[in-house]
Each structure stands twice: as C-alpha cells, then as structure tokens.
A = this chain, B = another copy of it.
C-alpha cells in the first residue's frame, strides 16, 4: 500500500475538516456535495463581514474565480490573508484567467498578496499565469493550448518556484509540482470534460485533503487528483455511456465510496 495517500483519505473521513469556499455560483452545489462525499464539511460564505472569521476556524480555504466580481475579490483577499495568519492552507483556482482584465488583475493580486498552498488550473490558465502564450477565451482549456501544452512539468515547476506553492495542471494527464519534484498521474476519463465543475471539484477535494495535511500540500493534491481521476473512471464504467447526466451522478457516487483500497488498487503514476 502506498501509505501516504491512503492514510490521507482515511484521515479526511475521520476528521471531517471544515472547508471554507469562496466560489462561483455555477458549480458551488457540486463543490459542496463533493466535499461531503469525500468526508469533509463544506461552508460557503462570501460576505466581507464574515469571511476572515470563517477562514480562521476552517481547516482549509478554497478560492475560486469562476464568477468573481468586485465584492467577492475583496472577500477572497480578506479570507486568504486571515487564513495565512492562522496557518490555514489556501487553495487557489484561477478559473478563466486570461479571458478578461478583471480576472487577470484579480489573479495577479491574489497570488501576490496571499500565500497559496496549492494552485490548480487547466493548461490555458496555467500557461497564462506562467507568462507563456495562451489562448484562453472561456473557462475551458483551448484546443491550441492543449496541442501546444509544451513541457507541462517544466511549466509547473517554474510556476511553483515563482509562487512558492504546489502547482497542479489538470488535463488528460495531471501534472503536480512543488518546484523540486514533479508527479504525473494518468487516472481520469475524457467524460470529466463533458460536465461542468470537475475542475472546481478537484480544487474542493484538494482543499479537503489539505485540511488534514496542511504541511504536505503536494501529497494532499496528489491524493485529491487520484480520488477525482479514479472516480471518473469508475463513473464511466458504471454509467458513462448513458450520457452526461448519469455520469455526473455516478461521479458523486464514486467519490462517496472512495477508499484507501480503491486508491491503492487503481492509482496510475506516469
């Protein structure tokens, strides 16, 4: 048994870490349900008057730019700073960075003023943050960026060094780096790209695992990505051919049954 990751999943289920999300209104229900499915407890709260207090009592904070606006940018800054002061790990999901000046400036401010534990994005978002040519237009990775992904290991490493965080690039292969090491995972299924929110849900799971492993964000991120990737495979095997609605239901089912045994049996490192 690869004891690191399998221990972490048992710890999430035992300790029920509180995961504070400031996230978008598109996939927030999926994020709450996936957080519960893995065994953690979600709280979504974005009012400036309360976010610092809630971030301090949380086990991890997840900041997701999906539908950000001026009000929630301020809340993310306040929550992130409070989390930093309290030693609570922060996961950052720069949804759609590259698609508008608002998103670009918010991501720049959040990454410069907050110490991020784990940054997760698709290849378009990560290339943009790394200062490389990027063709992000929406919230999904562009085909051009997918074909021209380049050496994702090098990009992840570079960005991790610059931001002093773990960087995760999700895609057909997931790449995770803490600036020194790079790990690549092969678990997952293309159907994960046919429903909304699977990226956001990855970030929520990273938050859940960071909640029991704040000092080992690399291991937490890997355990989260394995859980999501393997759940995607199981969901496709069970009902992916039915269509995207059934696949989504089966994905939640699979995360809710994820265990040390399943992780250990199916994890595939490149």
Contact = CB atoms under 8 A, between A and B. Distances in A.
A103 B254 CA distance: 34
A140 B35 CA distance: 13
A246 interface: yes
A146 to B, nearest CB: 12
A28 interface: yes
Contacts of A66: 44
Given A32-B26, A36-B196, A138-B43, A252 B256 contact: no
A42 to B, nearest CB: 7
A108 interface: no
B100 A49 contact: yes
Contact of A249 (B30, B50, B194, B245): B245
A89 interface: no
Contacts of A197: 29, 32
A44 B67 contact: yes
A101 B243 contact: no
B49 A26 contact: no
Contacts of A47: 67-70, 102
A176 interface: no
B96 A43 contact: yes
Interface in A106-155: 137-140
Contact of A33 (B36, B96, B137, B195): B195
Contact of A140 (B41, B70, B99, B255): B41
Interface in A1-26: 18, 24-26
Contact of A100 (B53, B96, B196): B53
Interface of A: 18, 24-30, 32-33, 36-37, 41-47, 49-50, 53-54, 57, 66-71, 96, 99-103, 137-140, 194-197, 242-246, 248-257
14 contacts: A25-B44, A29-B29, A33-B244, A37-B245, A42-B196, A45-B67, A45-B99, A47-B68, A49-B102, A54-B99, A194-B256, A243-B256, A244-B255, A244-B256
Given A243-B254, A245-B251, 20 more contacts: A26-B29, A26-B32, A27-B32, A32-B196, A32-B197, A33-B195, A33-B196, A36-B194, A37-B243, A43-B138, A44-B66, A45-B67, A53-B101, A54-B99, A57-B99, A194-B256, A243-B255, A243-B256, A243-B257, A246-B253
